[in-house]
């Protein structure tokens, strides 16, 4: 049979569109033409496939070989197609049988020796291959993450010869099974490690319970980073779908680790990070920190030190939970539903209001420092709090004096989240203005308090909606149907920076 057709996958964002690899042999002068890949990658791919076939003692046909990767306009990285191209040549020359090929998808980069090298995105590709009812043959190092797709048939292979032995039936490849449903080990840092700071801990619980973004303002060393690191541990356990989505995004960067399965991610990029590193991009678009934080937490420390233009790009994903990247001809979209947490010092030196009195920053300097954060970004942060310096004699010396453990708080948070999902199918942070009017009902005293606060503090319409959403979460934590005055009062207390600007 001078024609062989095999199935493989390209990657486009988190999607893995199908690619057919057609290999055709014709009489004529020996040639090896490859259609459907960028010119720069064609030569490398041809060289790898030719060498791998010759070094595994197969015959490389002295005929006119044409390989066509279709469709032609998909973004493709050549390496992953080495394996299907090599197998196609072998099937077209009847060195292996062609009959089993339609039942499989293949991806893997060949070393010159015929060994298979890992590829990125194996999990996203397997999700689609499984949906289309095919087994997936993958490099061994990529097969483990692929097997996380429930019931997917994944065959790990170390080299070209072992794949051929599988197709001839001489020696079937093993099947990689999903790792035993392991209970995610609770190694996350615990809330009870943070000394004192009862009010900020409460704000962290409220943020966790409603999916609210959080800004912490306070001098260095008061535990802002410690608190942020403990937020993922307060969130409800990840569902299987959430775990798969998170793992698939990490797999796109080739850095998924099995021990992170089912664990909410915490990403803490440094303020020198570029816009591409933060939101994703590149010639062949890769996910950035905001997508690696999908279903988890993105923590930006020293917020005023970040480049304003870098922060501006956070606005779209904060609203939409997705990021669209278009660069030249290539477009990609990645999920980015993360909980946003930021921290900053109160002034350039960091010690404004510190009991030591060591701050000598002028009001102008302080205003300029805070002005580096754009109003529109600040407007999108639901909960804004101060994390004050503790007087040194307030440090508790007794064990157990630090308050509740993460597990106890997580229980309350999970109940509050479940109430929201039952009522409206999403967390309060993601309510649209019209839904807020309908779902955030106040009792009479709550209504009166909110009205007087609006007049007194001159809050914007956005701030008004944010107060209502946060108050709804506080009421959900208390299992209350209506929002009362106490809930509103606490929510108003979380607009720290609005009040400073007013
Ligand atoms: Zn200062």
At residue 398, the pLDDT reads 47
Could you tell me the distance, in angstroms and rounded to a whole number, from the CA of residue 273 to the centre of ligand 1? 25
Q: Is the pLDDT of residue 184 over 60?
A: no
Could you tell me the distance, in angstroms and rounded to a whole number, from the CA of residue 396 to the centre of ligand 1? 28
Could you tell me the distance, in angstroms and rounded to a whole number, from the CA of residue 370 to the centre of ligand 1? 12
Better-scored residue on pLDDT, 356 or 246: 246
Could you tell me the distance, in angstroms and rounded to a whole number, from the CA of residue 256 to the centre of ligand 1? 42
Contacts for 436-443 with beta carbons within 8 Å, 24 or more apart? 436/465, 436/468, 436/469, 436/472, 439/472, 440/468, 440/469, 440/471, 440/472, 440/483, 441/482, 441/483, 442/471, 442/482, 442/483, 442/484, 442/488, 443/482, 443/483, 443/484, 443/485
Could you tell me the distance, in angstroms and rounded to a whole number, from the CA of residue 344 to the centre of ligand 1? 12
Could you tell me the distance, in angstroms and rounded to a whole number, from the CA of residue 352 to the centre of ligand 1? 5
Could you tell me the distance, in angstroms and rounded to a whole number, from the CA of residue 349 to the centre of ligand 1? 4
Question: Residue 130 in contact with residue 152, Cβ under 8 Å?
Answer: yes
| Structure confidence by residue, pLDDT tens digits, 327-354 | 766 778 999 999 999 999 999 999 988 8
Could you tell me the distance, in angstroms and rounded to a whole number, from the CA of residue 374 to the centre of ligand 1? 20
How would you write 414-428 as a 3-class SS string?
Answer: HHHHHHHHHHHCCCH
- Mean predicted confidence (pLDDT) in 315-325: 90
Could you tell me the distance, in angstroms and rounded to a whole number, from the CA of residue 220 to the centre of ligand 1? 11
Q: Is the pLDDT of residue 183 over 70?
A: no
Q: At residue 278, what are phi and psi to the nearest 5 degrees?
A: -75, -50
Could you tell me the distance, in angstroms and rounded to a whole number, from the CA of residue 309 to the centre of ligand 1? 25
Better-scored residue on pLDDT, 475 or 2: 475
Could you tell me the distance, in angstroms and rounded to a whole number, from the CA of residue 138 to the centre of ligand 1? 57
Could you tell me the distance, in angstroms and rounded to a whole number, from the CA of residue 387 to the centre of ligand 1? 15
DSSP letter at 393?
G
Q: Is the pLDDT of residue 497 over 80?
A: no
Could you tell me the distance, in angstroms and rounded to a whole number, from the CA of residue 223 to the centre of ligand 1? 18
Could you tell me the distance, in angstroms and rounded to a whole number, from the CA of residue 378 to the centre of ligand 1? 21
Could you tell me the distance, in angstroms and rounded to a whole number, from the CA of residue 219 to the centre of ligand 1? 9
At residue 391, the pLDDT reads 66
Could you tell me the distance, in angstroms and rounded to a whole number, from the CA of residue 498 to the centre of ligand 1? 20
At residue 303, the pLDDT reads 94
| Among 115, 111, 33, CA closest to 67 | 33
Could you tell me the distance, in angstroms and rounded to a whole number, from the CA of residue 5 to the centre of ligand 1? 69
At residue 385, the pLDDT reads 94
| Structure confidence by residue, pLDDT tens digits, 477-488 | 999 999 999 999
| Structure confidence by residue, pLDDT tens digits, 111-132 | 999 999 999 999 999 999 998 9
Could you tell me the distance, in angstroms and rounded to a whole number, from the CA of residue 82 to the centre of ligand 1? 59
At residue 456, the pLDDT reads 87
What percentage of the chain has pLDDT greater than the value 70? 94
Could you tell me the distance, in angstroms and rounded to a whole number, from the CA of residue 354 to the centre of ligand 1? 9
Better-scored residue on pLDDT, 221 or 342: 342
Tell me which of 207-211, 354-358, 364-368, 435-439 is least confident: 354-358
Cβ count near 31 (within 10 Å):
11
Question: What size, in residues, is the chain?
Answer: 502
Q: Is the pLDDT of residue 181 over 70?
A: no
Could you tell me the distance, in angstroms and rounded to a whole number, from the CA of residue 417 to the centre of ligand 1? 39
Could you tell me the distance, in angstroms and rounded to a whole number, from the CA of residue 218 to the centre of ligand 1? 11
| Structure confidence by residue, pLDDT tens digits, 136-179 | 999 999 998 898 888 899 999 999 999 999 999 999 999 987 76
Cis-peptide, bond into residue 71, ω within 30° of zero = yes
Could you tell me the distance, in angstroms and rounded to a whole number, from the CA of residue 292 to the centre of ligand 1? 34
| Structure confidence by residue, pLDDT tens digits, 23-64 | 999 988 999 999 988 777 888 899 999 999 999 989 999 999
Could you tell me the distance, in angstroms and rounded to a whole number, from the CA of residue 365 to the centre of ligand 1? 9
At residue 296, the pLDDT reads 97
Question: Residue 15 in contact with residue 330, Cβ under 8 Å?
Answer: no
Strand partners of residue 267: 298
Q: Which residues surround ligand 1, an ion (CB under 5 A)?
A: 347, 349, 352, 359, 361
Could you tell me the distance, in angstroms and rounded to a whole number, from the CA of residue 467 to the centre of ligand 1? 29
* CB environment 373-410: b (16+ within 10 A), e (fewer): beeebbbbbbbbbbbbbbeeeeeeeeeeebbbebeebb
- Mean predicted confidence (pLDDT) in 232-250: 92
Could you tell me the distance, in angstroms and rounded to a whole number, from the CA of residue 449 to the centre of ligand 1? 34
Cβ count near 455 (within 10 Å):
9
Cβ count near 499 (within 10 Å):
15
Beta carbons within 8 Å of 426's beta carbon, 6+ residues apart: 420
Across the chain, mean pLDDT equals: 90
Question: Residue 121 in contact with residue 251, Cβ under 8 Å?
Answer: yes
Cα–Cα distance measured from residue 59 to residue 91, given in angstroms and rounded to the nearest whole number: 12
Could you tell me the distance, in angstroms and rounded to a whole number, from the CA of residue 391 to the centre of ligand 1? 18
Could you tell me the distance, in angstroms and rounded to a whole number, from the CA of residue 140 to the centre of ligand 1? 55
| Among 488, 380, 481, 476, CA closest to 428 | 476
At residue 12, the pLDDT reads 84
Strands 116-117 and 64-70: unpaired
Q: Is the pLDDT of residue 10 over 60?
A: yes
| Among 446, 500, 502, CA closest to 472 | 446
Q: Where are the alpha helices (DSSP H) in 4-139?
A: 39-55, 82-92, 122-131
């Amino acid at each position: 049979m001078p024609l062989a057709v095999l199935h493989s996958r390209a990657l486009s964002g988190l999607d893995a569109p199908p690619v057919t690899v057609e290999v055709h042999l014709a009489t004529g002068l020996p040639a090896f033409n490859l259609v459907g890949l960028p010119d720069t990658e064609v030569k490398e791919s041809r060289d790898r496939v030719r060498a791998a076939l010759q070094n595994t003692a197969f015959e490389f046909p002295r005929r006119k070989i044409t390989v066509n990767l279709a469709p032609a306009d998909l973004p493709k990285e050549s390496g992953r197609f080495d394996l299907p191209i090599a197998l196609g040549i072998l099937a077209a020359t009847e060195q292996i049988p062609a009959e089993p090929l339609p039942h499989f998808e293949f991806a893997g980069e060949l070393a010159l020796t015929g060994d298979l090298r890992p590829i990125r995105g194996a999990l996203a590709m397997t999700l689609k291959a499984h949906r289309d009812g095919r087994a997936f043959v993958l490099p061994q190092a990529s097969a483990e993450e692929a097997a996380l797709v429930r019931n997917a048939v994944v065959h790990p292979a170390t080299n070209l010869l072992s794949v051929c032995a599988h197709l001839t039936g001489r020696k079937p490849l093993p099947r990689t099974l999903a790792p035993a449903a392991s209970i995610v080990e609770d190694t996350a840092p615990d809330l009870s490690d943070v000394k004192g700071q009862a009010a900020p801990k409460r704000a962290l619980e409220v943020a966790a319970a409603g999916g609210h973004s959080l800004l912490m303002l306070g001098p260095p060393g008061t535990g802002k980073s410690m608190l942020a690191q403990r937020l993922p541990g307060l969130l409800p356990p990840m569902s299987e779908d959430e775990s798969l989505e998170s793992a698939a995004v990490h797999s796109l960067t080739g850095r998924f680790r099995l021990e992170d399965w089912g664990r909410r991610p915490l990403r803490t990029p440094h303020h020198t990070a570029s816009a591409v590193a933060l939101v994703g991009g590149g010639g062949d678009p890769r996910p950035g920190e905001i997508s690696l934080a999908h279903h988890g937490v993105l923590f930006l420390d020293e917020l005023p030190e970040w480049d304003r233009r870098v922060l501006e790009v956070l606005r779209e994903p904060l609203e939409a939970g997705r990021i669209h990247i278009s660069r030249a001809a290539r477009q990609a979209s990645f999920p980015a539903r993360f909980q946003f947490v930021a921290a900053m010092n109160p002034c350039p030196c960091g010690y404004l209001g510190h009991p030591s009195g060591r701050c000598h920053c002028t009001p102008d300097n302080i205003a300029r420092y805070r002005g580096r954060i754009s109003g529109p970004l600040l407007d999108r942060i639901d909960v804004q709090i101060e994390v004050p310096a503790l007087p040194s004699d307030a440090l508790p010396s007794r064990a157990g004096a630090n308050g509740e453990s993460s597990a106890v708080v997580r229980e309350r948070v999970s109940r509050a989240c479940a109430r929201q999902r039952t009522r409206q199918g999403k967390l309060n942070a993601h309510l649209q203005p019209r839904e807020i009017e309908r779902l955030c009902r106040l009792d009479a005293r709550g209504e009166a308090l909110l009205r007087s606060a609006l007049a007194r503090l001159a809050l914007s319409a956005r701030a008004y909606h944010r107060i209502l959403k946060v108050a709804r979460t506080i009421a959900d934590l208390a299992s209350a149907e209506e929002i009362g005055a106490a809930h509103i009062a606490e929510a108003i207390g979380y607009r720290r920076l609005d009040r400073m600007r007013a």
